[in-house]
Amino acid sequence: MRFIFHRLFLLLLLLPALAVPASALQLGEPEAAPAAPAALPDPLGRETPRSMVSNLIKALAEHDYDRAAQFFDLPGDTNRQRVNAAIQARAFQTLLDNGGSLEPYVALSNEAVGKIDDDLPLDQEEVGHIAVGDKKMPVILSRSEEAGQQVWRISQDTARQIAAAEKQRAAAPTQEPDKYIVAGAPLKDWALLVGLAVVIFGGLWMVAALVVAAIRRMVADPTANGLYRFLEAALPPLSLLVAVIVFLNWVERLPVAIVARQTLLRYTGIVFVIAFVWFGLRLVDAIAELAIVRMQRHQRRQVVSVITLLRRTAKVLLLVFSGIGILDTFGIDVTTGIAALGIGGIALALGAQKTVENLVGSVTVIADRPAQVGDFIKVGDVIGTVEDIGIRSTRIRTGERTVVTIPNGDLSARQIENFAPRERFLFNPVIAVDYGVSSTKLREAIAIVQGVLAGHEKIAEGARANLAKITERAFNIDVFSYIDVREFDASVLIREELLLTIYERLEAADIKLAFQTQTIVFSPDQLEALASRPPAQAGQDVPQRRSA
C-alpha cells in the first residue's frame, strides 16, 4: 500500500512537467539514459523457498533429474558435473522416500528473503530433513546469485550429506522398482495415503455419531437441550478437523514416496481450511440459535437483530479468509490483491455510497433500537410488523400481508412510531347525549360513565369523564382513561365491554344518545303553497331553514 501511494504521489508531482510543451523540453537538459530493463523471473521458479520446493517436487515427479539438478548449489559447467548433479537429485529423492521429509506447502516461506525469525543466517532456510544412518540431517537451502538473479537452491553442505548417504545406501541391497507409477509415485503409496485418510476420518466420524446418539438418548428433549444441539452441530466438522491433524502427524512416519506425500500434504491444507470453516459456520449457527432462543425468552427482540447481524458478519469473514487460504494453497499470491483492496475499497465506497449509507443506517438502527423484530410500527405511510432487520434493509409485514422493504439508511432518517413499547392503551371516546335531556339527566349520564370507569378492574387510576362541550347537536361527555393491559387484542375486548356497559346503563336510565338529525321549519305562506301543489311537486323549490 505504501509503495502504491508513493508511486501515485510521484505521478502527481510529474504532471506539471508532462504538461510542458515538447519544444521547452528540447531546450532543457539532455535526455536521460534509458531505464534498465526489469529483471525477468527465474524460469525454474526458485525465487522463494516455497516455489523452489514446489518446482523441485514437480521435477522429481516427472523423473526429470537434469532439471532437478539445477535446484542444487553444485557446479554444472562441464558435462561430468551436470551428470553428478543429476545423480545427486536422484539420490535426494531416494533419501526423502526412505525416512526423509519436507515441510508442508503452507509452512514454507513465500517471501524472497525467506524466514527471518529463525536462528539461521539470512541466506539460509531449513525446509526438512533426511536420514543419514541413524541421524536426521537438516535440508538447508542457500540463497545466492545466478545469472544476475537471487535464487534458492539446496546448499552445498546438504549436497555433501546426500553424497555420503548415497554411498552408504549403495552398499545395502537394492529394492526392485515399482511397476505401477502414477503421477510420479508408486500406486501403492497413493493407495496407502488415501486409505489412511479414509480410515481416520471414517473412524472419527463414527465416534462422533455414537456420541451424538448416546446424548440423544440421555436427554428428555434433544431439540431444547443446548449441549446436544452444540455437539450435533460441532462434532461432524470437528471430526474432519481432528482427522486432518492426525493424518498430518502420521503421514510423516510412513515410508512412502515424497512426491505422493508432499502432494497430499499440500492439498490436505485445503481440506483443513474447509473443515475449519465448516466447524466455524456450524459453531456460529449453534451459538447464535441458542442465544436467540434465550433472548426471545426474555423478550429482548432487539438483541435478536444484533445476533443475526453478527452471525452473518462472522460467516462472511470466515468465507473470505478461507478463500484467501485456499488461493494461497494453490500458489496464488494474495498479498498484492489484499493491498489492492485498499484502493479498490475507496473506489467502491465512492461508487456505492447508498450501500455504505445503508450499512451505517443498520448500525444506527441496531444501536439506537427504535424498533425490534416483532414490533408493530408506523414509518411514514407504512404500518405493520417488523419481520427482519438486516444488514441493508428492514422488512415490514403490513396488515394486508404484503412485505415492504425499507433501506436502513432511509429508516434511520425517518420518524418511526413504535406501538410495541406501550404498557397501556388510551380509552377516550366521546359520549354524545341528546339535547332533549334535562340537566338532572345530564348529570346522571356523567355519573354513569364515571361509575363504569371506576368499576372496571382494567382501567388505570386517574380516569375521568366530564362535560367538555355543548355542540350544535349534543352534549359531549369526554372520557380520558387508560386500559391497563399490554396486549392489543385484550384492549380491543375491554374497549368493547366498556362501551356496551355505558350504553346499557344509559339506556336503563332512559337517557338517549344523540345522533345527526335535521329539522325543516316552514312559514305559513310556504305551507299554503305546498298544500296547493300536487304531491309530486310539494317538496320542490321551497326555501328551507335547517336546525339541529
519, containing H or E segment: strand 519-520
Picking from 5, 26, 24, 6, the residue whose alpha carbon sits closest to that of residue 16 is: 24
Q: Which CATH class is domain 429-508?
A: alpha beta
Let me know if the fold of 49-175 is the same as that of 350-418: no
> How many residues in total does the chain contain?
548
Q: Report the chain's terminal Cα–Cα distance, integer Å.
A: 84
Query: b or e along 475-509 (b: 16 or more beta carbons within 10 Å of the residue's beta carbon)?
Result: bbbebebbbbbeeeeebeebeeebeebbeebbeee
Tally the C-alpha atoms within 13 A of residue 396's C-alpha that lie toward its C-beta: 23
What cell was used for 97? 522416500
Is residue 67 within 8 A of residue 52, CB to CB? The reply is: no
49-175: CATH, from 1.10.287, 3.10.450, 2.60.120, 3.40.50: 3.10.450
348: left (phi over 0), alpha (psi -120 to 50) or beta: alpha
What cell was used for 436? 332533549
Domain ranges of the chain: 49-175, 186-333, 350-418, 429-508
Alpha-carbon span 105 to 99, nearest angstrom: 18
The DSSP 8-state label assigned to residue 113 in this structure reads T
Tally the C-alpha atoms within 13 A of residue 265's C-alpha that lie toward its C-beta: 23
Tally the C-alpha atoms within 13 A of residue 364's C-alpha that lie toward its C-beta: 16
Report helix, strand or coil for 138: strand
Alpha-carbon span 530 to 537, nearest angstrom: 8
350-418: CATH, from 2.30.30.60, 2.30.30.30, 3.40.50.300, 3.30.300.30: 2.30.30.60
pLDDT in tens, the chain (548 residues): 333 333 333 333 333 333 333 333 343 444 444 544 555 778 888 888 888 888 888 888 888 888 888 888 888 778 888 888 888 888 888 888 887 888 887 788 888 888 888 788 888 888 888 877 777 888 899 998 887 888 899 998 888 888 877 776 655 555 556 667 777 777 887 888 888 888 888 888 888 888 888 888 887 777 767 677 777 777 888 888 888 888 877 777 777 788 877 777 777 778 888 888 888 888 888 788 878 877 777 766 656 767 777 888 888 888 887 887 777 666 666 666 666 666 666 666 666 667 767 777 777 777 777 888 888 999 989 999 998 887 778 899 998 999 999 988 888 888 999 988 888 999 999 999 988 889 999 999 999 999 999 999 999 999 999 999 998 888 999 999 999 998 888 999 999 999 999 999 999 999 999 877 666 777 887 777 777 776 655 455 544 444 44
164, containing H or E segment: helix 156-171
